[in-house]
Structure 1
Amino acid sequence: MTLNFAHRGSLTEAPENTLPAFKKAIRHGTKALELDVQLSKDNHLVVCHDHKFSRFNKDVEGLIKDYSIEEIKQIDIGSAFGDEYIGVTLPTLEEVLKICPPDLLLNIEIKNIPVIYDGIEQILLDTLHEHDRLKNLVISSFDHVALKKVQEINSNIQLGMLFYYRILNPWDYANTSGLNISSIHPNQVYVDQTFVQECKQNGYSVYPFTVNNVGRYEELLEYGVDGVFSNEPEIFIR
């Protein structure tokens, strides 16, 4: 069965990584959501891809980690998308978890590069435990040390290993990492049939990112990928 992820929610229809974007993806009937988490100044899990506000609000300087959650909730990041979303702010992970049906698979990416958030792994797992969301879950990161810390805290969590650049034999790297990796998440630009076959022969599911072209999506399906991350509703609801 192919499993596609709505990447940061339905970000072509609402501001990315916000409650409206996630609600739209859920209404479309997506079976899986991808979202990013980092920490506020007072250690609340904030759902956002960028470490800065500048792409959403040019008047706000500094990094997300420089602001408390109370301050973050005063920052409008929706109006840059459109007037309909004026006043929309970055959500906390807890807010997102409350709107997600239990059968919806969540891929939570720890945004630990270039900012390293000390202790984010424990905070994340504690929050997921409090909301009974430790199942039907994948935790991924480009920071493979963060994945190691997640595994040390809870070895039952499914881990997704993210790769942006091409490296030699990532399946071998995953095998020797000491991590119980369930899936490899590569940049889609270099994924070919050999890549997919080698990953699957080594026991890893393959979920390339970010696939927004239907033709490329169908090509990847022919290679045998298990699903993709996509911004395109036509793809992520399949």
Structure 2
Amino acid sequence: MLLLFTGIVSMLCLPLSVVGAADVRDALIYKMEILIPPKEGRDETADILQIENTVADLKDIAVIFAFKELGRPRIVLVLEVEKACSWPQLTSFLSRKGYEYSVVPLSLCSDYAHGLGVKLPHDLWTYSFKDGNLTMVTKIFPVGDLTTTEYDERLKLTFEQDRSILETGQKGACFRVLAEYPVKLVYFAPVTPTQIQAIEKILLAPGMYENEATRIENLASYTAVCQGD
């Protein structure tokens, strides 16, 4: 994964005439996951605070989301990278500290849905969540014996369901993982028990996709509590 990531960064540091504007545009958003491995004498809270401060000071890299998985020392970041050559300011820090990390490029689900013929306006999504019950859901769409048309129809139906859910007032954000096949979508959303029941009714379609849900919290909320604020 790290070799692939290094290759991506190297390509993006080339002039636009070499890489192509479309590729650069698609690679502006990334999901980074950072795992702090257990180590004798390690202060996990102090490490997480240092990561938060380092991320906040990044140049040419804007933080869209910063979450911590509940019950695990794993941080999930969604970053908008203005200049890909700025990556070393973060990756060098992580490597020096001995943290494990992975990076995947993302694109907005609205853009992907538009390409499939589904109108899913950008302003339906939310890119800032209050503290509360937050979740990260990864949907993987198996290909099976579906034709390309049937596969696209399955994705279109999913985005139409997303639109219906968002129009009820549910908040959320959605990204497609680029260069992944079968298609993988990543959602972030606040979810209450009542909302879960409503969503389950809409999404009652066994076999359409595989779900993996992870409870998360805003990184700032975690670090604020740990500092006694």
**TM-score normalised over the length of structure 1:** 0.29
**TM-score normalised over the length of structure 2:** 0.30
The structure with the greater share of residues assigned to strand is 2
Return the index of the structure with the highest Cα Rg. 2
Higher relative contact order (CA 8 A, sep 6+): 2
